Amino acid sequence: MFRMPPASGPGSSEGHVDYRLARASVLSSFRRGVLDRTEVCDAHPELVRAAREVGTPIPGECPVCAQPELVHVTYVFGPRLPKHGRCISLRGELSRLAKRPGTHVAYVVEVCRQCSWNHLVRRSTLAGDPPPTAESTPVDNARRVGRDVD
């Protein structure tokens, strides 16, 4: 599973939101018959494709169909990324994005590859380096982007 790098920098908060209670509420409504299966197993075809191709398997069974097909899919939104976000497919991608200037937001979605159950698991803020300012020196800027300074 991909781990969220902590937000860093002066004055930053962790910026993590967990959606377990909302998930439990949806599943409770489904089990009581308030929600139909078509209302909870409604993943977008692109999300299902991402789940099949790059999803990270997680332990346990789907809470709807009881198949061991659960995966996490992570999307990141932020500056200089496509407006539809970037689906994280490589292990180090989140860490690299967290080091970029600007604030990026990662969303982890639980998806069943069998029945298309999906629910947002977590939202995390990835705070990168602040953009250079007019007061920054060329040496400061070079260090910020990781260049050697003599």
Q: Give the distance between the most distant pair of CA atoms in the chain.
A: 68
Q: How far apart are CA 124 and CA 98, in angstroms?
A: 11
> How do the domains of the chain map onto residue ranges?
16-144
pLDDT confidence of residue 1: 46
Contacts of 63 (CB under 8 A, 6+ apart): 27, 117
Counting as low any pLDDT under 70, the low residues of the chain are 1-14, 128-150
Q: What angle do CA 48, 50, 53 make, to 5 degrees?
A: 110
The whole-model pTM stands at: 0.74
pLDDT at site 14: 59
pLDDT of residue 127: 72
What does the pLDDT read at residue 98? 87
CB hemisphere CA count around 70 (13 angstroms):
19
pLDDT of residue 128: 62
Strand partners for 71 = 57, 111
Show the 3-state SS of 82-120: CCCCEECCCCCHHHHHHHCCCEEEEEEEEEECCCCCEEE
pLDDT at 142: 44
